[in-house]
Structure 1
Amino acid sequence: MLPREHRLTSSRDHRDTMRQGVRAGGGGVMVAVRFRAPSSPRETSWRCGLVVSKAVGNAVVRHRIQRRLRHIVFGLMREGAVAVPTDARLDMVIRAFPEIVDLDHLRLRAEVLRCAQRALQKSSRKAEKL
């Protein structure tokens, strides 16, 4: 489970990240990232939210997918595989599509990592233009 400080808990944060963030998808997942201004110096550098709809499967399947995604995201962030600048605050939302059910752990991890890195690259290019 993700620690509380690393979870997107409000629907407003989810909505803002999905609408204002930069998205990249493929292979059963879509990742949206949005950089935000720090509200306090003790705030963590990243937060993550998950969207797994009923289209993915019944409750048992959806909860299994959520557990797998939480485990993957926490591992990627702890390892530093998703590079977040030290002074930046990142919100990330991962949306699962029905194809995700057929992916094994390694393939799912690779897809989440690839989509997150692409979204971060798009975000940095967008910031450079401004």
Structure 2
Amino acid sequence: MRHGRDAQTIHQLFTYHDQIYRTVEEIPGGIRAVTESDNPEVAALIQSHVSQMYDRIAARQSIPMMGMSSTLSTMAQSENQYERQLRLTSKGIEVIETSDHPEMVAVIREHAQEVTQFAEQGMPAMMNGRMR
């Protein structure tokens, strides 16, 4: 049941992608990303989604719609190779992901680009499947 609820949250975020803004900064060993919305309901969806995905990665649970990302599988399977920090903001969430492994840093940065495309394009980005 939770898997379906998580997938529903993802679909809602795609629907409201035009109300989401995102900045990604490359930092030593990874990224700092801030994803927010001026719409409180969309901000709550962002916060919920990121928290749910981090919980799933930590618990080694399946992730809904994993096939839409070329990096998510690697991130989920390599959860002990990178640090994840999240901080709720008043309009969304700040995420910092870093690693000491150069290959993992590349995956983290590529995933950040994928998520940015999802936020910018919405459903069309999802329909493209594995993006490169």
> Above 0.5 in TM-score?
no
- Greater share of helix: 2
Q: Which has the higher contact order (CA 8 A, sep 6+)?
A: 1
Give the TM-score, by structure 1 length.
0.32
